[in-house]
Amino acid sequence: MRHKRAKAYKRLMALYHLSFGFREPYQVLVDSEMCSISTSLKMDLVKQFAIVLQGSVKPMITQCSIVELYKLGPSEQAAVELAKTFERRKCNHREAISGNECIASVVGDSNKHRYVIACQSQVMRASLRGVPGVPIVHLNRTVMVLEPPSDATIQAKRRAEEKALLPSDPEQKQIKTDGPVDVPKRKKGPKAPNPLSVKKKKVRTDDSNQTTGQTKAGGKRKLEEDGTSRPTSDMQDSGDDKPRRKRRRRITVTAEAPD
């Protein structure tokens, strides 16, 4: 099987698994015509089912289908032996009916037992497409094919998804008892500015302005009286913190006259 086809079959079986509850081993209900064709082609039917359905399988057949194989004569003895290896599905028919009618009665209107149907009859396949959640397998020459989901299957899947979104019964009862919840409406009006973008105001007192003005004036007066550019104590505090260099005094030595 090609990789692309195997991926498509895997997606199909995932759909049946999630939406309709199919699980391994898949119960494959085989009709009499499928058994006779597989023996004539010398095909390993169980192995092909496992490859197509991407999982383990449990082949099954009804008593009516085995009786139909017996009626075909001794030429179909190999098909009868193959059918006997499958699990017998009880159909509760006292008198044997045709295999297609028997399979249709077992599947019913909803396929509640989750059967995968392997049949060759086109009429039977057309009638089973009207039942949601029925995977259908058939042989196309020598290749086993899994049919795409029918319209009834897709609609049932959508209904299940919509139902899952709705509230459950206890939630609906709680909603009815609580009643509608009044949500307070927000008043519309001018919005305040962003506090992070607003520049903070600098607060200055009058005392601090007076003291700073006095110190500046006092420093200027001292400089004018001394006639030097030596900074005052206030200016030293606000300026550089480097230590001042001490001046060295020059010592003059005078020579004394001899007596």
User: What's residue 232's pLDDT?
Assistant: 47
User: What's residue 146's pLDDT?
Assistant: 94
Higher-pLDDT residue of 236 and 23 is 23
Work out the pLDDT band at 259, boundaries 50, 70, 90.
very low
Q: How far lies 177's CA from each of 1, 156, 173, 183, 184, in Å? A: 58, 32, 6, 17, 21
Closest CA to 120 of 106, 138, 146: 138
Work out the pLDDT band at 221, boundaries 50, 70, 90.
low
User: What's residue 171's pLDDT?
Assistant: 77
Work out the pLDDT band at 179, boundaries 50, 70, 90.
low
User: What's residue 226's pLDDT?
Assistant: 54
Work out the pLDDT band at 142, boundaries 50, 70, 90.
confident
3-state SS track over the chain = CCHHHHHHHHHHHHHHHHHHCCCCCEEEEECHHHHHHHHHCCCCHHHHHHHHHCCCEEEEEEHHHHHHHHHCCHHHHHHHHHHHCCEEECCCCCCCCCHHHHHHHHHCCCCCCCEEEECCCHHHHHHHCCCCCCCEEEEECCEEEECCCCHHHHHHHHHHHHHHHCCCHHHHHHHHHHCCCCCCCCCCCCCCCCCCCCCCCCCCCHHHHHHHHHHHHHHHHHHHHHCCCCCCHHHHHHCCCCCCCCCCCCCCCCCCCCC
Work out the pLDDT band at 234, boundaries 50, 70, 90.
very low
**pTM confidence score:** 0.64
Instruction: Mean pLDDT check: name the lowest of 17-31, 103-117, 168-182, 229-243.
Output: 229-243
